[in-house]
Structure 1
């Protein structure tokens, strides 16, 4: 795979040497035009299934871009759209000509309309709403027409704001009823006062919304335009502006360099909303949730820089920095005092993104469960901490506890590194193919586990759901094709059978006077199961299908725009695992148990109701009807609360190394306690353990393949 991709990139780079964007860089001062030219070229040369950039392509970009700018149709008028439509079939021409007239027109018009909306919403919220008037709002914005006049625009905003205020007003009325019930001396507020407070809450929410919008610069809106173009190729091709690329790297590696605190913008201030366990700020024990960071001073500067009113991204850039460097924060504490806090930056690992495991006890047996949120890795150095290394270490630790079976939980795991999948699959099988990868115009390449040793040759179950995607599907598919594990979960997984590579756009430039150009995540390959089938669109079909909350919601690859098609190639040469005696019978036993499980019947009933609620678009703005509708919904919610009351007969316990860490880290202890509490109510984990109990192992098979604990 690496070889074929490098050949492709070498070809493209050599070709790029004579391409227009490399010869006009110094003469063209417009970075936006350069980006359009560069990205369209890379897409055409490097995408697995490059689209023809023609009038049909142009129309799709036009529609998606306008929708991205104004999804609720509360800014643009019909006259604006009619004016924009002159460019509906010209986007392709503008791409070829490095012309951004259409973007400039829409950007300037949006800024104008948003300025008008700032005034309009304040005018509307100055007056009380009449909740006795019988009117309704349609929230199916996709089907709503654009308004034709200022009167229509005012009414659209009025209905949306009234809907928001009504929701807050209802909550306040209910809160007051509860307060009066609990305290007979409680001083009641009139409906007039409650309505006014509800309007003030809505005004504050909109103030926060427009503050975030004010933080967006022209380049941020241009990124939206670029992504409206690149996402027409497929749902997973994406342009990362420089700071977005940083966030992507952090998400993939699970680590960053900085102080170890999550920040958000609040009334022009930067507020600490979480101190990350184990990070520098946590170790220093001086920064607290709720603190406001007013100024930032680097160790080589004399005076601190005020970040009040600064864009959050810019403020974060000043606060974070390389490991070992020092930063001084001027912090306004929750009690109103101001402190100077010096912090030495360090690598901060986001533990919630990493694999974690637990001992599971049932009767006199011990099992293990490993939860893997994503297939993480360091994009600069694979040999650093990654998902495969961590999963291996957790299994070794669980084996030391003499576990009788293992569950790998891939639910909600959206994927990640392809190499980590191959490495993890190799922990459970002898050497052999794990996945097939095909680059455009080339024969498929088989990625194999080449190590004959097996770390875990005991019973194995993999849990999946509709949000298990990409790398998760590769692992589940390989274990299913080998008959190495029983897959329990949704009817099918997400259905993403494509491979993306992240290309640093700066590397394409011989010279660059425009600063960081960002990166392009580009679909370059498709992967296939060892049996030859693609997981694209179809996903992995579970051996034991169980309903969950996503069962009736359209969230898979097949429900996205512009997905690549399903296809099939020849199977790889692989041998089915013969370590189980009763594999098929165990699946049948599980299916029978699940069909009789009352908890699952209730979950499926709830999933159907959730789907029905999602299809509701009309809401009454008359208080009596609104209240009746809420009461009916709450009655159903109350009925479904029994789902959360479910309790298994399983007990969960952290491994010894974590219990030792908890003596100094109460945050970790609370996180694990919450996780264990959730697992103890999890019917899917309960069934996974029952399946592990049922699986019988061929002891002769095991004796032929001694377990290796090598690093």
Structure 2
């Protein structure tokens, strides 16, 4: 099993590749004036494809027959990976490829990759035509561009029909060109700056196409096939397999971010707890990186259209050196950009350590001291543990120490904060659960043959038996879900927050003659028999979340394994919170109805949902400007309502927001002030303590 149980998107597998220490020069520039050369498969790839088919058929948790339905799905997924926005292929291309739709099953089994490469080469041909069209537009039509015409562009085209002919294709490209120019103009760029940037951008696209290797085609095709099993099953080429092996050690340097390639952009998937980007507090999941610069004075280099591995080479670098990233915030819909400065550093295990504090809450003259343990990840120093080091670091050891220290401070209850915790060691999730129960199962692991094995609490003592709440959010995944689910099933803790990520599967790395295959072998189940897969853990008391309804979570991924349940394990719960929940929920709703932070979150959620669901943008400069002014004024009003409630100075415009947030974040860190959601969690716990006073709530109940 892979010990790092983190949520994964369908991304190019450079999982933590920004940590590498070497700063490597980009590939030698090629003559992009020449047509893009065709690529062809090699024998090693053909053999590897047969091995992948055999391994998935025999070993994957999900049994997928290579029947006509699934073969056609592979075909469609391959086209989606190459042209997700349907901006390149013509309907005539799709018609030409149609015979392959029924043949891919037998072709995969035999290792015949020629049709896959034919489709890939056609994609590169169309992409080259588009890049040259854009460069031609810059040379010939930029000065006469009509941005007053009342027309619009469909920006979400995944469900649109394929382009009917060359005219429809060029009409689309013409609108996309106008959109690129208009976005730059609205971002206060001069005409010369726009021409220069768009020329570099499309030249980069051509350069990327010239630098394509046969391995790019092979990896894309095999992952289209592997993806029909589940989104976490992936083929790694020899190069990316080497990167993955290095990444898993965590003894690396860089900014601490996970990147993916999405259309022409490099997108931030997540930031690593304890890494430079996370500590800087600026870079967020969903941000798109459009330019990179070295040091304070280095020139920003446009990276739109650049290969992901080349972008990585620009961003990574030596410890204590500065990199500047120009990004389009994922939370922004107005194409405005920000430039963030991040000092590269090593991501140290101790930066992800559990930490604790005490918050005091007073109600009707009674003060409750609430202990809080924040847990960014489930970690263990495997090497030290295996070598017999008696002082090796682990989550459970650190939490044990912190609880003992908190109990000396006479805490009345405990909060375990798992927000943003993407998982980690299964062993640690098991052992941490054991700190809060005296004995019993902690999780059930079911393999592809249907055999179920229970993990048991390895320690018969119960370290902490007092009132407890576990906080989760949409980014809490894998090991976090195992622990939170166990605490909920045992009745050892209330769970509050938002629905967790829903990754309840186990992956393993299998070597091939050429690269590696990561495949799903097993599934997690709670002791109640419920899967954590797809559905995640549902809180007892729910907080609003900006991630609700957005493209985050297992249930948003194609072909994710379904939620199901099996026979429960034999266990005895401690408490039944159901008699107390209605009153606790009523008090929570009453408190937060007018709570400025909760109101803000609801307003921001509605704001994002409204604008993210828009499928088109106007290409009229006047209309687009008005739309953006409306958006920005709505956002400014939401931000200022929150700031007014906190007694903070109001913003004149959104440009002041980033600087204000950065200053206030630093002050909060310095003051160790609990955020509104941790504060409310503490109050919920205080309510629970009061409601259950002297009721023997945590005495074992018979099953």
Q: Does the TM-score normalized on the shorter chain lie above 0.5?
A: yes
Q: Which deviates more from structure 2 when the two are superposed, residues 435-444 or residues 46-55?
A: 435-444
Identify which of 505, 517, 524 aligns with 1:520. 517
Q: Give the unaligned 5+ runs of structure 1.
A: 3-27, 174-193, 265-273, 279-286, 294-308, 321-326, 335-345, 507-511, 650-668, 706-711
Correspondences of 1:313-392 after superposition (within 5 Å) = 349=348, 355-362=354-361, 366-377=369-380, 383=386, 385-392=393-400
Q: Deviations over 1:522-549 (max 9, x none)?
A: 2211221111222333322211012211
Report the alpha carbon displacement of residue 698 of structure 1 after superposing the two structures with TM.
7.2
Identify which of 452, 463, 474 aligns with 1:444. 452
Identify which of 224, 229, 242 aligns with 2:225. 229
The 3-state SS of whatever aligns with 2:528 is: coil
- Contact 1:466/1:550 (8 A) holds in 2: yes
Identify which of 44, 51, 54 aligns with 1:38. 51
Q: How many residues align?
A: 580
Distance 1:70 1:400 in 2: 60
Identify which of 85, 90, 95 aligns with 1:82. 95
Q: Aligned residue for 1:471?
A: 479
Identify which of 674, 683, 688 aligns with 2:681. 688
Q: Deviations over 1:44-67 (max 9, x none)?
A: 111112200122111111111111
Q: Aligned residue for 2:251?
A: 256
Higher relative contact order (CA 8 A, sep 6+): 2
Q: Deviations over 1:671-705 (max 9, x none)?
A: 99477379847332111111232343878979999
The 3-state SS of whatever aligns with 1:501 is: strand
Q: 1:566 to 1:360 in 2, by over 3 A?
A: same
Distance 1:241 1:353 in 2: 30
Q: Report the TM-score when normalising by structure 1.
A: 0.71
Structure 1 or 2, whichever has the larger Rg, is: 1
Identify which of 152, 157, 164 aligns with 1:136. 152
Q: 1:277 to 1:125 in 2, by over 3 A?
A: closer
Q: Aligned residue for 1:495?
A: 502
Q: 1:622 to 1:310 in 2, by over 3 A?
A: closer
Q: Which deviates more from structure 2 when the two are superposed, residues 613-622 or residues 554-563?
A: 554-563
Q: Report the TM-score when normalising by structure 2.
A: 0.71
Distance 1:83 1:123 in 2: 28
The 3-state SS of whatever aligns with 2:416 is: strand
Q: 1:594 to 1:704 in 2, by over 3 A?
A: closer
Q: Deviations over 1:241-278 (max 9, x none)?
A: 3443455456655x2246889999xxxxxxxxx99779
Q: Aligned residue for 2:528?
A: 531
Q: Deviations over 1:332-375 (max 9, x none)?
A: 999xxxxxxxxxxx985266655444444546655443333333
Distance 2:406 2:294 in 1: 36
The 3-state SS of whatever aligns with 2:178 is: helix
Report the alpha carbon displacement of residue 464 of structure 1 after superposing the two structures with TM.
1.5
Q: Aligned residue for 2:181?
A: 165
1:100 corresponds to 2:113: yes
Correspondences of 1:222-621 after superposition (within 5 Å) = 222-245=218-241, 248=244, 255-257=250-252, 289=295, 312=310, 349=348, 355-362=354-361, 366-377=369-380, 383=386, 385-396=393-404, 398-399=406-407, 402-490=410-498, 492-497=499-504, 499-506=505-512, 517-553=514-550, 555-578=552-575, 584=581, 587-588=584-585, 590-593=587-590, 596-599=593-596, 600-621=598-619
Q: Give the unaligned 5+ runs of structure 2.
A: 3-40, 260-271, 278-292, 300-306, 325-344, 387-391, 648-661
Report the alpha carbon displacement of residue 112 of structure 1 after superposing the two structures with TM.
2.3
The 3-state SS of whatever aligns with 1:90 is: helix
- Contact 2:62/2:229 (8 A) holds in 1: yes
- Contact 1:252/1:379 (8 A) holds in 2: no
Distance 1:419 1:470 in 2: 12
RMSD: 4.4
Report the alpha carbon displacement of residue 452 of structure 1 after superposing the two structures with TM.
2.0
- Contact 1:137/1:619 (8 A) holds in 2: yes
Distance 2:257 2:675 in 1: 30
Distance 1:375 1:310 in 2: 29
Distance 2:106 2:45 in 1: 16
Report the alpha carbon displacement of residue 589 of structure 1 after superposing the two structures with TM.
5.5
Q: 1:57 to 1:563 in 2, by over 3 A?
A: same
Correspondences of 1:142-157 after superposition (within 5 Å) = 142-157=158-173
